[in-house]
Chains A and B, each alone.
Chain A
Amino acid sequence: MIVELGHFALILAFCVALVQCVSPLLGLAVRDNRLLKIADASAPVLFVLIAYSFAALIYAHVVSDFSVANVFENSHSAKPLLYKISGVWGNHEGSMLLWVLILSLFGAAVWLFGRNLPLDLRAMVLAVQGAISATFVIFIVATSNPFLRIADAPAEGNGLNPILQDPALAIHPPLLYTGYVGFSMAFSFAIAALILGRVDSAWARWVRPWTLAAWIFLTLGIGVGSWWAYYTLGWGGWWFWDPVENASLMPWLTGTALLHSAIAMEKRDSLKAWTVLLAILTFSFSLLGTFLVRSGVLTSVHSFASDPARGVFILAIVSAFTAGGLALFAWRAAALSAGSPFSLVSRESSIVLNNLLLTASCGIVLIGTLYPLALEALTGDKISVGAPFFNSTVLWIFMPLLLAVCFGMFLAWKRGDLREAAHRLWPAAAAALIAGLAASLEGGAGWKTVLAMTLGTWVLAGSVWEVLWRAKFLSAPLSETARRIWNMRRSQLAATLGHIGLGVAVIGIAGASAWNTERLTVMKQKDSVELAGYTVTFKNVFERDGPNYAELAGAFELRRGDKLIETIIASKRRYDAPPQATTQAGIAPRPFGDVYVVLGNELEGGAFAVRMYYHPFVRWVWGGVLIMFIAGLVSLLDRRLRIGLPQRAAKTPLASAPAPAE
């Protein structure tokens, strides 16, 4: 009954979403505010309905109700509780339901926090959200219904792919989807602004925190996915330019561009059309990502759970929203006023450059991802576009971008002075040159590594220096510097922190790609191998049982000199449902890199094939991502964003959350 009610709630949600979409548009046409206000009432109702539906599916998974086809196909009674729950979004139907749940959550957030928005803007935003909800809910009900029953309920389920039974992969989809779907807010605001013909800095101030929230989650989601790949796939790779990864990278790139241009719009009232276009594009890329992953058009490392039959439906949704948004933009963008002027050398221009390079890199990722599909569909020729293509092309975009980051931070709004900025950046330049020199002296570094190390350090040092310089470091007493840093606006510090994260990640990417060492050996027990200054000794193998797998584990002692540092356990797991083996790498994090051990096959005479790696700097990659994530959080905590629109702020003095003003 709970499951049937879940099914019913979902169908009801479709009807509510339809009302939410149509009534505000009608209200705008006949100028009736009562119709506009219907959207306010429907947004929370929609959320409650979908939340109930989602809860019902979780319930079916938790109690292992195998009469529900979705549970039978993806769950198993012996699965740990965490993976029974995460198994809900470990399959196509459930993950689409999660998608609309998050969408309706954002809609409810507009209703909850958006009381100080003008009624017509709020209603239009909710109408667009309603349109997106309606199409995706009907997609689920029509093609991907998770509530279908099986007449003769089987006694046991098929189980979840063991590779998905992992804590990082349990939280990866919700994080990623919150990012993807969060950009729907930017999209809805852009469409609403185009319909109403009104885009101002108050609009940007409202859009920015929501874009930021989406960006934070997407950043973290991509980071968690990459971290999972690193320790799961067994050779320490963390980015493969896999189409599914590209699908999440594209909205991240345009979303990052959007965050920057929204600043220009908020502060200087310029780059309006550009910002609106980026808002539309970013969500379009989120939809495209959903299409690529969910339609089964790609058969890639990540899409374990997709179905090609649904592809056409999602493609139609993606095309409709993208084409509709862009057409509306083409039609109405001219109505947006030009905004404040700025000169060629200015903070605004540097943001234009940032937008240009980020969007171009997104375009490269897009063509590289879709080209093989399009070529095969049109001509039948099969080609591959893999990591070497992306590495070589994106490199050329990112080099100037990294170079420009520091200049942008030192340029003034409206009109800047490039020579002065360069002059002020000397400590960053010095640090970058030293890092580049050090990298080139280290063996095995090609010019790309040296360049990336130089630029990564340049960004890192430049960002740190920017804060110090603004706080009059060296030109004022230390206490004055500390006071100035303390009093800096959060968003200012967040920008710096975000760029520090970028620098750290670039250094990590360069270092991890250039200097990892690998040892492929056959080891018997008590054998030792030297690896990057460490000694790894194969101690013994043992068998043990997990909750739903059996495991053969090898213990390896990690020593530096004679000192035992730790015992690394690397294992091979054997799952019964479904029958599949996984490799659990043993990883010892050390100050400058990871020692990574993989236990291979047993050979004659009790020997094992063992693969060992030393991955230097690899944690800097996720460290950088984590810093960017924290930077986003810090920026969200900026007081200005919490207060909301300026004219309302006077009525709600120092409110920590925008209280209802009416």
Chain B
Amino acid sequence: MRMFSLFASATSSRGAFALNVTALIIGLLLALSFAPAFAVDPQEQLKDPKLEARAREISAGLRCLVCQNQSIDDSDAPLAKDLRLIVRQQLEKGSSNSQVIDYVVARYGEFVLLNPRLHLNTLILWLTPLLLIAGGIVLAARVVRRQPETRAAPPLTPEEQKELQSLLTPPGGAANS
């Protein structure tokens, strides 16, 4: 929205829009949810760089609830800004990272977490990667084992070695070896 005020003069000089209201609203909504980002404002930053770094780390894992698949760190939406401020306030109070995240989840629900926690309803989600790997290994083992063996033959016994030598050595060629 702030972007529009910046261009207010340019807009009025360019004259009226030949557009209906719906298109305007859609346009505004798009601009809101998808404004090419100017997320974290310089003024928002914490003085302590360590604390600020932690704030950024936490923010990257929290979803901007009104956006489409954006973290609050990447989003320009007012709600994301509010959440960023909450994160920073909590950090300044001395909360640990997980305390800050718990605080946000308590208010906004699990939906806010980009990395879902292991619960009953996310059990399948988290187990699937393990099952895929385990199932894949079993399947691959079956595919490989089903192959008729072409393993290397056992090494020759000394007797066989001797016999081989005698076969390979041409008659009277002993002098060459």
Contact = CB atoms under 8 A, between A and B. Distances in A.
Contacts of A312: none
B143 A235 contact: no
B140 A353 contact: yes
Nearest to A304: B30
Nearest to B44: A520
A381 B144 contact: no
Contacts of B27: 578-580
B164 interface: no
B39 interface: yes
A396 to B, nearest CB: 7
A572 B6 contact: yes
A601 B71 contact: no
Interface string B26-42: 11101100111111111
A600 B121 CA distance: 41
A576 B150 contact: no
Contact of A155 (B4, B18, B132, B152): B18
A274 B143 contact: yes
Interface string B1-26: 01110110011001001110001101
A389 to B, nearest CB: 5
Contacts of A521: 42
A242 interface: yes
A397 B152 contact: no
B114 interface: yes
Interface string B103-135: 000000111111110000110110011001100
Contacts of A414: 150
B42 to A, nearest CB: 5
A240 interface: yes
Contacts of B37: 233-235, 583
* Residue in B43, B111, B116 with the greatest tally of chain A CB atoms within 10 Å: B116
B42 A301 contact: no
Nearest to B110: A383
A535 interface: no
A247 to B, nearest CB: 13
Contacts of B47: none
B125 A371 contact: yes
Interface string A232-261: 111101001111000000000000000000
Contacts of A232: 36
A396 B132 CA distance: 12
B71 A338 contact: no
Nearest to B6: A602
Contacts of B7: 550, 552, 572, 574, 581
Given A301-B69, A338-B146, A600-B38, A367 B128 contact: yes
B136 interface: yes
A659 B149 CA distance: 42
Interface stretch (A196-204, A341-349, A639-647): A341-349
Given A383-B116, A578-B19, A301 B36 contact: no
Given A367-B125, A576-B17, A343 B110 contact: no
A234 B36 contact: yes
Interface stretch (A53-61, A110-118, A156-164, A616-624): A156-164
Interface stretch (A357-365, A463-471, A488-496): A357-365
Given A304-B30, A375-B121, A384-B114, A364 B36 contact: no
Contact of B116 (A271, A385, A582, A600): A385
A332 to B, nearest CB: 18
Nearest to B30: A580
A235 B37 CA distance: 7
B144 A352 contact: yes
B129 A396 contact: yes
A602 B38 CA distance: 12
B68 interface: yes
A364 B38 contact: no
A375 B119 CA distance: 12
Contacts of B17: 576-577, 579
A384 B63 contact: yes
Contact of A387 (B10, B23, B114): B114
A273 to B, nearest CB: 9
A155 to B, nearest CB: 7
B160 to A, nearest CB: 21
A226 to B, nearest CB: 15
A226 B55 CA distance: 27
* Residue in B7, B43, B109 with the greatest tally of chain A CB atoms within 10 Å: B7
A350 B133 CA distance: 16
A299 interface: yes
A343 B4 CA distance: 67
B10 A363 contact: no
A382 interface: yes
Interface in B42-67: 42-43, 45, 60-61, 63
B148 A341 contact: yes
B14 A598 contact: no
A379 interface: yes
A52 B23 CA distance: 31
A106 B125 CA distance: 37
Interface in B134-177: 136-137, 139-140, 143-144, 146-152
A384 B69 CA distance: 8
19 contacts: A233-B36, A301-B69, A352-B143, A353-B140, A356-B140, A363-B132, A371-B122, A379-B121, A383-B110, A384-B114, A386-B61, A387-B71, A389-B115, A520-B40, A552-B6, A576-B14, A578-B19, A579-B31, A609-B42
Interface of A: 155-156, 158, 161, 163, 232-235, 237, 240-243, 270-271, 274, 299-301, 304, 338, 341-344, 349, 352-353, 356-357, 359-360, 363-364, 367-368, 371, 375, 379, 381-389, 392-393, 396-397, 414-415, 520-522, 543, 550, 552, 572, 574, 576-583, 598, 600-602, 609, 611
Given A353-B140, A543-B10, A579-B31, 14 more contacts: A155-B18, A356-B137, A360-B133, A360-B136, A367-B125, A371-B122, A379-B121, A382-B109, A385-B115, A397-B129, A415-B152, A550-B7, A577-B18, A581-B36
Q: Nearest 6 pairs between A and B by C-beta?
A: A386-B114, A388-B115, A583-B36, A234-B36, A578-B27, A341-B147
